[in-house]
Amino acid sequence: MSVLDTVLGVIFLSQTGVGVLGNSFLCFYIFTLFSSCRARPMHVILAQLTMTNIIGLISRGFPEGVFYLQKGYLLGNLGCKMVFYVQRVSRGLSIGTTFLLSAFQAVTVSPSNSRLAKVKVQKLIRPSCVSLWIFNMILEINVPLYVTGPRSHNSSYTGGFDLLYCYWGTVSQGITILPSLRDILFVGGLVCSSGYIVFLLDRHHQRVQYIHSESLSSGTSPELKATETVLMLVSIFVCAYCISCGITLYKVYVTHLGVQVMNVGTFATLCFPTISPFLLIHRGAV
């Protein structure tokens, strides 16, 4: 085991440990709000986001860190199938929940005379969260069929690509088209809702400057602060998603992609679930 392997293992396990700790604390705090009847509708989405972050960190960061520290293949065929299925489901949940959070905030800050303000979004949050779980679990149901143990255990594997400690046996358009469409729709909706929020914030800022009112400009309302926090989360998510998605696509179509480039993708993927709980706590969004 080289020094680089040790460093990578420590980095991935540190990301996982810090992220799980932060998300667990935030999740516990949100559930105390539910028990004391002080929870707001947005807390339902944040609770799902924290749980999704924990699942994603454990299923992605922990195996990666252990692989580099022990330099061994701990997962067999069944382990790889389970771990990568959970990874894919948590990834889809993360994209969908972040979109849901952005869309909810866009409706919340909409002017009272707009059509969006008339949407009873509070009644749609819980069904939407449950639907995201069911939708992603069904959409990724084919993952265990194509993921197996490491290629080094069976040299007959061809037509796929290595995933360090596991192997994706078959890559075809039929397997990836539905998850890709999901990503495009959710990320596209995420960008549109965030752009709408930025437009509203800019219009509000111009109106405040025009009025020159000390009472309006001296402080920041909770709604405005929450909106700014959501925009920060969305920015971090989109940056991490673009890096990870770009590297994954390059891996699919360029077979000689270096392992270190894949490590950059893993690090970027783990950044959002690690940073987001601390950003929410620091900004007082809960």
Structure pTM? 0.86
Superfamily of domain 3-283: Rhodopsin 7-helix transmembrane proteins (1.20.1070.10)
3-state helix, strand, coil in the chain (%, to 5): 80, 0, 20
Q: Do 64 and 74 form a contact (C-beta atoms < 8 A)?
A: no
Q: Do 270 and 62 form a contact (C-beta atoms < 8 A)?
A: no
pLDDT on residue 225? 73
How many helices (DSSP H) and strands (DSSP E) are in the chain?
A: 9, 3
What does the domain layout of the chain look like in residue ranges? 3-283
C-alpha torsion angle, residues 98, 99, 105, 107 (rounded to 10): -160
Main-chain phi, psi angles of 76, to 5 degrees: -90, -160
- One digit per residue, the tens of pLDDT, for the chain of length 286 reads 688 888 988 999 999 999 999 999 999 988 888 777 777 788 899 999 999 999 999 999 998 888 888 766 667 788 888 998 999 999 999 999 999 998 888 888 777 777 776 777 778 888 999 999 999 999 988 888 888 777 655 555 555 667 777 777 765 555 567 888 888 899 999 889 888 888 887 776 666 655 544 444 445 566 677 778 888 888 899 898 888 888 877 776 665 556 777 888 889 899 999 999 998 888 766 6
Q: Do 22 and 282 form a contact (C-beta atoms < 8 A)?
A: no
- Quote the tokens at residue 146: 């194509």
Cα separation, 274 vs 270, whole angstroms: 6
